[in-house]
């Protein structure tokens, strides 16, 4: 098997966290394939290489069905780390708050406290979000924290949390042939326990091939709760505000516009 070797993002533990996430996601029976962890060391990770090809509609539908099963493998609680990991996690160059023990049962309270507000100060400091925008994001977080925007998990997720990839933008889905069939392989996770709709929503932040087919196939296997379309932006807010904090620019206004829909 050919391999791919990558370094850290200036945080030596980030690739160790990635490896833990790949192993955890890979344990899901019938779930999406993940890059094989071949070896790792201080500040580096070696995985099996995916020989890429173009996506197909059939492969996208299979991704949706398999992602439903990955999520259904579950997680002990909201914000939990992948098995075997302790401490904080990473999402690219950003820190990712994790909870070693169960906390709130409210997804909205968890999401506001651990997935939105930790990045707001950074986005304000770099000028991506102004004072008025900060107030809008905080109003959205306050509403989230009440639990008013909570919704049930998809049908197959029977426990308190879904097993998430956590950074599922289109670039972290590689399409390649296995035994002559095009299929998806996941890379670069920020794995944790959360709401399954978050992974699906993140696929739409920068676009993904045949996204409508991915979601439709997912919904056939594990029906989504009513109103899921109206919640897509809410679940995208984490990825947007992380980008606003890391990169600034137009991500700040985009974050504020999205938060305003739910404030």
Query: Which CATH number does the domain housing residue 158 bear?
Result: 3.90.1200.10
Residue 222's pLDDT is: 98
Residue 75's pLDDT is: 98
How many domains in the chain?
1
Mean pLDDT confidence for 134-150: 98
CB distance 64 to 221 below 8 Å: yes
What's CA 145's distance to the chain center, in Å? 20
Percentage of the chain exceeding pLDDT 70: 98
Confidence band, pLDDT 50/70/90 cuts, at residue 231? very high
CB distance 72 to 162 below 8 Å: yes
The whole-angstrom separation of Cα 237 and Cα 201 is 9
- Which of 191, 156, 177 has its CA nearest to residue 64? 156
Confidence band, pLDDT 50/70/90 cuts, at residue 221? very high
Q: Where do we find the tokens 């809008």?
A: 136
Residue 178's pLDDT is: 77
pLDDT of 191-208, one tens digit each? Answer: 999 999 999 999 999 999
First to last CA, the chain: 50
Residue 177's pLDDT is: 85
Mean pLDDT confidence for 222-244: 98
Tokens of 83: 């098995």
Mean pLDDT confidence for 63-87: 97
Residue 96's pLDDT is: 98
pLDDT of 164-178, one tens digit each? Answer: 999 999 999 999 987
Residue 254 exposure: Cα atoms within 13 Å on the Cβ side: 18
Range of the domain at 177: 3-260
Largest CA distance in the chain: 54
Confidence band, pLDDT 50/70/90 cuts, at residue 152? very high
Confidence band, pLDDT 50/70/90 cuts, at residue 1? low
The whole-angstrom separation of Cα 234 and Cα 84 is 30
Confidence band, pLDDT 50/70/90 cuts, at residue 41? confident
Average confidence score pLDDT of the chain: 94
Return the CA Rg of the chain: 18
Percentage of the chain exceeding pLDDT 90: 84
How many CB atoms are located within 10 Å of the residue 180 CB?
Answer: 5
Tokens of 52: 């890429």
CB distance 137 to 120 below 8 Å: yes
Tokens of 209: 């091939």
The whole-angstrom separation of Cα 22 and Cα 32 is 11
Inter-axis angle of helices 232-247 and 251-260, nearest 10: 150
Write out the DSSP string of 78-105.
TTPPPTT--S-EEETTEEE---SS---S
34 has which bridge partners?
Answer: 186
State how far the alpha carbon of 52 is from the alpha carbons of 46, 215, 221, in Å. Answer: 17, 22, 27
């Amino acid at each position: 098997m050919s391999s791919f070797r990558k370094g850290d993002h200036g945080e030596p533990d980030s690739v160790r966290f990635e490896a833990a996430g790949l192993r955890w996601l890979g344990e899901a029976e019938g779930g999406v394939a993940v890059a094989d962890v071949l070896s790792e060391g201080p500040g580096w990770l070696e995985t099996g290489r995916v020989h890429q090809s173009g996506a197909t509609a059939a492969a996208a539908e299979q991704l949706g069905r398999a992602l439903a099963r990955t999520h259904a493998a579950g997680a002990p609680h909201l914000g939990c780390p992948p098995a075997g990991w302790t401490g904080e996690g990473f999402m690219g160059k950003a820190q990712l708050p994790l909870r070693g023990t169960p906390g709130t049962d409210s997804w909205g309270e968890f999401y506001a406290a651990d997935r939105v507000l930790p990045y707001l100060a950074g986005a304000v400091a770099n000028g991506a979000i102004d004072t008025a925008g900060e107030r809008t994001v905080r109003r959205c977080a306050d509403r989230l924290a009440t639990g008013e925007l909570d919704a049930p998990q998809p049908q197959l997720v029977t426990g308190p949390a879904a097993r998430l990839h956590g950074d599922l933008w289109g670039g972290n889905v590689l399409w390649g042939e296995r035994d002559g069939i095009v299929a998806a392989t996941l890379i670069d996770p920020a794995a944790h326990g959360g709401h399954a709709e978050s992974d699906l929503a993140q696929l739409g932040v920068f676009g993904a091939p045949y996204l409508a087919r991915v979601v439709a196939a997912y919904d056939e296997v594990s029906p989504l709760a009513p109103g899921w379309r109206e919640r897509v932006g809410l679940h995208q807010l984490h990825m947007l505000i992380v980008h606003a904090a890391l990169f600034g620019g137009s991500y700040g206004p985009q974050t504020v516009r999205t938060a305003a829909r739910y404030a």
